[in-house]
Structure 1
Amino acid sequence: MAGKLNLIFSYKFELSIWKYVISQSGTFLVFELRSDKSDEVRFTYYDLVEKRLVEINLNESDFRTTLFEIEEDQIYFKKYDAGANPVIQSILSWDRNLASTKVLPSDTNVNRTENRLISPSLYTAINEHYPLLVSFIKSLTNDEPNNKGIEYLEWNDYVVVSYYTGEKSMANFLLVVNNNKEIVVHEQLGINLLGIGQDTFTVDGNKLIFVKDNCEIFIYQYE
């Protein structure tokens, strides 16, 4: 029997999702959020086990601070100086258990998180399979994908595609279809776009993750 795809988390932030990193265990995600109109930057994480969203009150941070790495209970950030060619000034370590910050030297060795995320393949109009993908999408949605690019991934019992419509002002859509060619998810991810994105969705194990309108996160789980 085919597995089901269930929405386990969605949240619309006030600021744009600039970056997110998932922990090695796959139990929580950390978000870097930034304002499009000011230097405001915030950090938060979502615990997939306890199902709670937690603000990270990171002391010593400013708009030159950016999310770096995760070592489960320790979340690391890089803080840059204000020079014309910014260099790392220090590493900030935030402890999830103590909710406290430590300032570490800029050359501190931090174990890099293994990349768990699976990204889709990008097909462009010069690819021989592109017309088949366009026909596939059109037959299910009646949308007319343009020739800018389609991201495609076969995942468990599903096909996941990200495509664009329009020319000068484009819209981006995510489509998830099961083995019976039934639409499971069909979301508009963005409008008034001037170009295409990369990795508009990713997969971490049994989770499908994507961002809508730069500020709303969705996580579906395969069960």
Structure 2
Amino acid sequence: MFPKSIKQISLAGSVWGTALDEECECLYIECRNEEDRTIFIARLNLKNLELESRKVNITWWDKLVGVKLNQLYFVKYLDQNDPTQQLSFILDFESGVKAEWESSAEFSIHTRHPEIYEHGSDYFDIVSKFLALELPVSCEYLEWQNKIIISYYLRSANGFDRYLLLLKNGEKEWKVKQDQEMKGFSSGAFFVFDNQLIFIKDRNEVCVYTG
């Protein structure tokens, strides 16, 4: 059973990227439907967890890289084989109007991200022994207030399943299966903003735990 302390917000497509607007306390989520190749942006208000979605006029080779006050910053890749060939533009979330983005914007976001413990490193071995598990790939670890958060993988029939474990005051609070049948390690399993732990589950659900 999924922990009641975690709020789940379902999305209509697969998550390809996220960007946090710290000033507005909103998480913007780039979602795509691979069947009809439609793209939309979902805005999650982290204060009340209300979700608003809008279809956007961008291409499959545009990537959300940041946000400031409802202004979404994108990079457009011009050559699939050469990622250095790119343009940049801004999209207003409210109006859908695009504008050129000529200079690099800085996105100073006060979030906490986990440390990556590479497979076979000393810290990795400590986590593996603590969990009493043979971990096949690298893991992620973060100490937050009186909590410890560990993202780790176990082998499955068709790849790896990713799990997220939260300990509070040294005791297990909850454990969830975050992703299934992954091909290998992928960094960025979760992050902490203010007093909230935020992660994406199964590429179509935003999960928020308030500590």
User: TM-score, normalization: structure 2?
Assistant: 0.83
User: Unaligned stretches of 5+ in structure 2?
Assistant: none
Q: CA deviation at 1:6?
A: 4.3
Q: How big is the alpha-carbon RMSD for the aligned residues of Structure 1 and Structure 2? A: 2.7
C-alpha contact 1:12 1:215 (8 A) present in aligned 2: yes
**One of 60, 75, 81 as aligned partner of 2:72:** 75
Relative to structure 1, the CA distance from residue 183 to residue 84 in structure 2 (aligned partners, 3 Å threshold; closer, same or farther) is closer
Aligned counterparts of 2:24 and 2:101: Cα–Cα separation in 1: 27
Could you tell me whether the CA contact under 8 Å between 1:124 and 1:130 is conserved in 2? yes
Between the two proteins, what is the percent identity of the paired residues? 20
Partner of 1:154: 143
Contact 2:71-2:90 within 8 A present in 1 as well: no
Moved over 6 A (4+): none
2:205 is aligned to 216
Q: Which moved more, 1:60-69 or 1:116-125?
A: 60-69
- Give the number of aligned pairs: 205
Structure with the larger RCO, 1 or 2 (CA within 8 Å, 6+ apart): 1
8 Å contact from structure 2 (residues 136, 155) kept in 1 = no
The answer for the alignment partner of 2:118 in structure 1 is 124
Between the aligned partners of 1:169 and 1:80, the Cα distance in structure 2 is 30
Spell out, residue by residue over 1:66-114, the C-alpha distance to the aligned partner (whole angstroms, 9 max, x if none): 32322223333345558875532x623315xxx213222242x463221
Aligned-pair CA distance for 1:53: 0.9
Instruction: Tell me the distance in 1 between the aligned counterparts of 2:119 and 2:45.
Output: 40
Instruction: Supply the distance in 1 between the matched residues of 2:139 and 2:48 (Cα, whole angstroms).
Output: 35
1:63 maps to 60
Structure 1 residue aligned with 2:190 = 201
Does the CA-based 8 Å contact 1:69-1:110 persist in structure 2? Answer: no
Q: Matched residue of 1:174: which SS? A: strand
Q: Does the 8 Å contact 1:18/1:32 carry over to 2?
A: yes
Does 1:182 pair with 2:171? yes
Report the 3-state secondary structure (helix = DSSP H, G, I; strand = E; otherwise coil) of the residue aligned with 1:70: strand
* Offset, 1:164: 1.1
Report the alpha carbon displacement of residue 153 of structure 1 after superposing the two structures with TM.
0.9
Give ranges in structure 1 of 5+ residues lacking alignment.
139-143
Residue in 1 that maps onto 2:39: 41
CA distance in 2 between counterparts of 1:126 and 1:84 reads 33
Q: TM-score, normalised by structure 1?
A: 0.79
Output the amino acid matched with 2:43: Y
Tell me the CA shift for residue 205 of structure 1: 2.6
Q: Cα 1:197–1:82, aligned 2, differ >3 Å: closer, same or farther?
A: closer
